[in-house]
Amino acid sequence: MSEPPPDRGMRRARVAAAGTAAVLFAAVGALLGLTTPWNPLPGHVPGGHTAADRALDFTPAEIARSKAFDSALNPPAYSGLLVGLAVVLALGLSPLGARLIGRAAARVRRRPLRVALAAVTLTTVFRLAGLPFDVWRESVLRRYGLSTQSWPSWLADQLKSLGVTWVIYTIALLLLYAVIRRFPRYWWAGAAAGGLVLVIAVSFLYPIAVEPVFNKFHPLPQGRLRSDLLTMAERDGVPVKDVLVADASRRTTSLNAYVSGFGSTRRIVVYDTLLKSPPARVESIVAHELGHAKRDDVLWGTLVGALGVAGALCLLQLLMTSPWLLRRAGVRAGPGKDGGAADPRSAALLLALVTVATQVGTPVQNLVSRHIEARADAHALDLTRDPGVFVSMQHELSVRNISDLAPNPVEYLLWLTHPAGPARIAMARDWARMHDVPVPPPLRSP
Ligand SMILES: [Zn+2]
């Protein structure tokens, strides 16, 4: 079979796609460079910065437990990541994936149905490949008393999450393949615009469409804590209609709180596991979440993320129209309307490229996230002016969640969205020195 003749129009389209990707990535880089709080606690710290030292506040037993938990969790985490990547690359960079989709959709003539079947088949295979490692991880959580779920209820969660993935991938692929077919040369423009809109829509709808699939939420009941939290939000100038409690205890003993959505779907959620902590500590956590709300961190993260996704979709056209990659993926490159990237069997190559791009983006995302989290911590300290309570809450968080107290550089790159507990505690001591407030003494008596 001979190569199709070089297509000058296509070449021009590819140059435009590459140029647009460069502009979008430069914009993301500039926005992150300029708006990330690289120094989350600005100002002079009398006596210099406090060094993070876990031995000040954590007992040898607590440190040992954290180390043991970390070494138990690392094997399933790393092997799961590697096997997942290997499977997705094997499917996408060899004809295996195209063959698999071809077989799954063998009797289906209608194109949209073939695309949907490709989405469902690939995401299911990918999830099945990860399942043994998820079971492994869950059994570690169980051994350490962090999971409160029965296996059937855990499995139900996995199925629900697979269902959500099916819906999101099917919608995204249906739109993408429709654009590819309609605009064989300039689909990157439609895909980039569509990707931008889709990321924003998903982030907006997530709290009302996806979160209720996994948890029940109810307003924090009337009482002292509720009125204190709402008064604090008002003092902070953050409009908060409600604080919601998630029934997390049916799944975990760990503590957490978060903000999700933006605009009319923005909500502050605390885990019900947190409500057993002293009210002042809960206030300290909610003050951190108010920091996110006040800075609109979710909206900002969504907008920058959406620009990055748009840039990645421009690059996607360059890769998906590469005859070499298409040949590797077992998809015939051709001038026809249904060949090459437009063939739904190219979805395996697509998933491989998307997975690699996501993996490459993770360390950057984590780096930026850790600084935004530290800024929310600084906000909590400014608002509550109680570093002592902040320190005891961070200690409780680290101990109850068995957090890694001394992550290594690879763990920072791959997994850490928040600064480690000892660093957060050290920052509270810096804050106290800067504001002439008594510096919280070490939690361990010397
Ligand atoms: Zn946070």
62 has pLDDT over 70: yes
Determine the pLDDT at residue 289. 93
Query: What is the average pLDDT across 340-358?
Result: 94
Please tell me the least confidently modeled range out of 162-166, 234-238, 376-380. 234-238
Residues 247 and 279 placed together within one structural domain of the fold: yes
Determine the pLDDT at residue 350. 96
Has residue 445 been placed in a domain? no
SS3 state at 403? coil
Residues 122 and 267 placed together within one structural domain of the fold: no
Give the distance (Å) from ligand 1 centre to CA of residue 403.
15
Confirm if 270 and 220 have CB atoms less than 8 A apart. yes
339 has pLDDT over 80: no
Strands 243-246 and 267-271: parallel
Confirm if 328 and 91 have CB atoms less than 8 A apart. no
Query: What is the average pLDDT across 393-404?
Result: 96
Has residue 442 been placed in a domain? no
Residues 204 and 318 placed together within one structural domain of the fold: yes
Residues 160 and 33 placed together within one structural domain of the fold: yes
| Number of domains the chain contains | 2
Phi, psi of 402, rounded to the nearest 5 degrees: 45, 50
Give the distance (Å) from ligand 1 centre to CA of residue 290.
9
Q: Which domain holds residue 180?
A: 6-218+288-434
Give the distance (Å) from ligand 1 centre to CA of residue 353.
30
Give the distance (Å) from ligand 1 centre to CA of residue 314.
32
> How far apart are alpha carbons 235 and 229 in whole angstroms?
10
Last residue of a domain, one of 242, 268, 287: 287
Phi, psi of 221, rounded to the nearest 5 degrees: -60, 155
Give the distance (Å) from ligand 1 centre to CA of residue 373.
5
> CB 1: neighbour CB atoms within 10 A?
6
Q: Going edge to edge, which strands form the sheet with 217-219?
A: 217-219, 243-246, 267-271, 257-260
Query: What is the average pLDDT across 391-420?
Result: 96
Last residue of a domain, one of 287, 303, 336: 287
Question: What is the value of pTM for the model shown?
Answer: 0.93
Residues 116 and 179 placed together within one structural domain of the fold: yes
Give the distance (Å) from ligand 1 centre to CA of residue 269.
11
Give the distance (Å) from ligand 1 centre to CA of residue 90.
37
- CATH at 251: 3.30.2010.10
Last residue of a domain, one of 247, 272, 287: 287
> How far apart are alpha carbons 364 and 316 in whole angstroms?
20
Residues 136 and 265 placed together within one structural domain of the fold: no
Residues 51 and 20 placed together within one structural domain of the fold: yes
Residues 326 and 197 placed together within one structural domain of the fold: yes
351 has pLDDT over 80: yes
2 has pLDDT over 50: no
1 has pLDDT over 60: no
